[in-house]
């Protein structure tokens, strides 16, 4: 029996992957970095420590990873302050599932950005626990952030279902031993081999119901 639902944030509740892409690409081009077409896809799911190191080592920014991280977060906060890109149906989906399950959130976003989104959206009170991948050893596709969410909820991983949109997120949830509901990101769709790991694939949050969360695997 499923006891808890753990949501991803970026691409599931906020349409933000392209915002991350624009901010990091803009910074890279301003600072003389070597931006490339697959950079955003490769960084999806990475913790802040990992993607800031990637920006330094691979993209070639001269600033330290710590400085890169601070500047990207500053720019993301400014974007969110101007307009929060909450995905249609996010409020309703969270409310529907909160009736039947305990809720957690496990995200690759930095802690200040998680808190800013949940505060601005009015959803903060619905999540018992929230975990940033900067608070665990490894980012997605490692399972650390989902396992930490389960630990904080005091729920066994096999009694959790994860709602994810990305390939690395799906792989992380599966590696954690959790059921996976995939809502593929339309801008950055997960590869077929990752999507095949999901128990359920939905078109949108409108289809996310307690019945779907409890359903047997469709794989």
pLDDT, residue 129, reads 98
- Homologous superfamily of domain range 17-82: Putative phosphatase; domain 2 (1.10.150.240)
pLDDT, residue 45, reads 84
Query: Is pLDDT at 218 greater than 60 in this prediction?
Result: no
pLDDT, residue 41, reads 86
pLDDT digits 0-9 by tens, 127-155: 999 999 999 999 999 999 999 999 999 99
**What integer is the mean pLDDT of 94-110?**
97
As a whole number of angstroms, the distance between CA 29 and CA 59 comes to 10
Query: Is pLDDT at 219 greater than 70 in this prediction?
Result: no
As a whole number of angstroms, the distance between CA 153 and CA 3 comes to 10
Query: Is pLDDT at 217 greater than 90 in this prediction?
Result: no
Helix, strand, coil shares, percent, the chain, to 5:
50, 15, 40
Domain residue extents for the chain: 4-15+85-214, 17-82
pLDDT, residue 138, reads 94
Tell whether the torsion through CA atoms of 180, 93, 160 and 21 is positive or negative: positive
Question: Would you say 134 and 69 are in contact if contact means Cβ atoms under 8 Å apart?
Answer: no
Sequence-distant (6+) residues with CB within 8 A of 10 are: 16, 17, 20, 107, 108, 109, 165
Query: Which H helix or E strand runs over 131?
Result: strand 129-132
Burial of residue 160 (CB within 10 Å: 0-12, 13-18, 19+) is: buried
pLDDT, residue 124, reads 95
Listing DSSP states for 99-116 in one string gives TTSEEEEEESS-HHHHHH
User: pLDDT band for position 44 (50/70/90)?
Assistant: confident
What average pLDDT does the structure give for the chain? 95
Percent of residues, the chain, with pLDDT higher than 70: 98
Query: Is pLDDT at 216 greater than 80 in this prediction?
Result: no
**What integer is the mean pLDDT of 52-69?**
97
pLDDT digits 0-9 by tens, 72-89: 999 999 999 999 999 999
**Nearest CA-CA partner of 178 in 147, 139, 137, 132:** 147
As a whole number of angstroms, the distance between CA 47 and CA 169 comes to 12
Classify the phi-psi angles of 204: left when phi > 0, otherwise alpha if psi is within -120 to 50, otherwise beta. beta
CATH of domain 4-15+85-214: 3.40.50.1000
Query: Is pLDDT at 179 greater than 60 in this prediction?
Result: yes
**What integer is the mean pLDDT of 180-196?**
95
pLDDT digits 0-9 by tens, 15-30: 999 999 999 999 999 9
């Amino acid at each position: 029996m499923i006891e808890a639902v753990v949501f991803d944030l970026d691409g599931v509740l906020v349409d933000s992957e392209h915002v991350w892409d624009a901010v990091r690409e803009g910074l890279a081009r301003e600072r003389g970095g070597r931006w490339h077409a697959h950079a955003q896809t490769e960084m999806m799911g990475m913790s802040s420590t990992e993607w800031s190191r990637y920006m330094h080592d691979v993209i070639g920014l001269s600033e330290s990873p710590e400085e890169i991280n601070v500047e990207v977060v500053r720019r993301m906060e400014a974007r969110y302050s101007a307009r929060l890109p909450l995905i249609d149906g996010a409020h309703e989906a969270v409310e529907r599932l909160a009736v039947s399950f305990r809720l957690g959130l496990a995200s690759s976003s930095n802690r200040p950005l998680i808190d800013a989104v949940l505060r601005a959206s009015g959803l903060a009170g619905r999540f018992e626990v929230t975990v940033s991948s900067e608070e665990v050893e490894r980012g997605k596709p490692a399972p650390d952030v989902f396992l930490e969410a389960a630990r904080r909820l005091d729920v066994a991983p096999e009694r959790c279902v994860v709602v994810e949109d990305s390939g690395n997120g799906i792989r992380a949830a599966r590696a954690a031993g959790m059921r996976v509901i995939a809502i593929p990101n339309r801008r950055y769709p997960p590869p077929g081999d990752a999507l095949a790991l999901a128990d359920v694939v939905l078109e949108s949050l409108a289809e996310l119901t307690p019945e779907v969360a409890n359903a047997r695997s469709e794989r």
